[in-house]
Amino acid sequence: MQLFDVYPLFNIEIVKGKGCHVWDKEGNEYLDLYGGHAVISVGHSHPVYVKAITEQVNRLGFYSNSVINSLQQELADKLGKASGYDDYSLFLINSGAEANENALKLASFHNGKKRVIAFKHSFHGRTSAAVRVTDNPKIIAPINEGLEVCYLPLNDANAVEIELKKGDVSSVIIEGIQGVGGIQVPKDQFMRDLRSLCTKYDACLIIDEIQSGYGRSGKFFAHQYADIRADLITVAKGIGNGFPMGGLIISPMFKPVYGMLGTTFGGNHLACAAAMAVLDIMNQEHLIDNAAKIGNYLLEQLHTIPGIKEVRGRGLMIGIEFEDSIKEMRNKLLFEEKVFTGIAGTNTIRLLPPLCLSSNEAKDFLIRFKKVLKA
């Protein structure tokens, strides 16, 4: 059997990781400014994380959601405290797309409405509703087209109000910071406008913090820079530091009904052990403060480098845009300088390192990056 060939692959196989470094099977060491696509939050193979998962799988790997799993409540307690949303409740799933799928459904169950407002260049995942609210027609199959969506420009509160006024909008979904769209940070005032408009027109505000959340922006959630609260918040990626997991954080205004949402694997014992270890490590090692501090340093330094069109971002979620394609530059970074980075579109380098990136590692990155720019 062959693999279904949907990923254009680099000819590299990563077999080992430690902190912000990974090694390929030939033994080459790489500096990881990509975090396996914003997934590695507390660093590769952190001993506390490894111990928690090992001990849990030795005890019990999985049982079903038809019996009590007190690890889920323990996780909810820790997450409530860490995020400032301790009066909200938690529903656990396995991926980011599933988190958004359930958020869109819950909003529609709640207000009985059908239409969704999303934003231009958004990305929310690949399942049916999540992909439909993603602004990329290439990945929307005909079967997904049923859900009625309009994609509005980011930061245009008037356009949002015009649509909301029609009275049929169930939810507005927005990324805390757009990732795939090229690290576009919505204006804080726009986020505040969205909050008040959603309340005014009885639509639910869903904030997708799958990439921008869990400390990456230098606050637990990126939308907390605007000092607002969402109705529904979706998380995944960094929540399990590589263990597949997603979460939906739900305002008390939503009332649960037995059977309304459900999943086989969501919130399993191993995932909970991983997610609790992540929050413990983030807390003990002050990783959110670190993301803010090292992120500010990188942003400051990047702003001084000539030849860059624009530097955007918050914390350790940084976009470096160039006038031209960055394909060759990224290849040089990877194959010559041994630095993993992400991209967005054709002209933007995306930095999404583990949140434990040290100042020496940030300096090391800048040295290697400048070398490639000068070449």
Dihedral sign for Cα atoms in the order 13, 370, 351, 364: positive
In terms of Cβ atoms closer than 10 Å to its own Cβ (0-12, 13-18, 19+), residue 75 is buried
CB of 242 to ligand PLP, least distance (A): 12
> Dihedrals φ, ψ of 148, to 5°?
-85, 120
- Nearest CB to ligand PLP, comparing residues 107 and 368: 107
CB of 3 to ligand PLP, least distance (A): 18
CA–CA distance, 292 with 149 (Å, rounded to integer): 35
CB of 315 to ligand PLP, least distance (A): 15
- Nearest CB to ligand PLP, comparing residues 181 and 218: 181
List contacts with ligand PLP (CB under 6 A).
95-97, 100, 123-125, 175, 179-180, 208, 210-211, 236
- Nearest CB to ligand PLP, comparing residues 47 and 153: 153
CA–CA distance, 144 with 124 (Å, rounded to integer): 14
CB of 296 to ligand PLP, least distance (A): 23
- Nearest CB to ligand PLP, comparing residues 207 and 250: 207
Which H or E element spans position 169? strand 169-175
> Dihedrals φ, ψ of 267, to 5°?
75, 20
- Nearest CB to ligand PLP, comparing residues 56 and 95: 95
- Nearest CB to ligand PLP, comparing residues 193 and 208: 208
* One-letter amino acid of 273: A
- Nearest CB to ligand PLP, comparing residues 17 and 179: 179
Residue nearest to ligand PLP (CB): 96
> Dihedrals φ, ψ of 344, to 5°?
-140, 125
The CA distances from residue 236 to 21, 159, 364, in Å, are 22, 29, 29
CB 232 within 8 A of CB 206: yes
CB of 205 to ligand PLP, least distance (A): 15
CB of 100 to ligand PLP, least distance (A): 6
Give the count of beta carbons closer than 10 Å to the beta carbon of residue 19.
Answer: 17
CB of 175 to ligand PLP, least distance (A): 5
**Which residues of 1-143 form beta strands (DSSP E)?**
14-18, 21-24, 29-32, 89-93, 115-119
CA–CA distance, 126 with 109 (Å, rounded to integer): 21
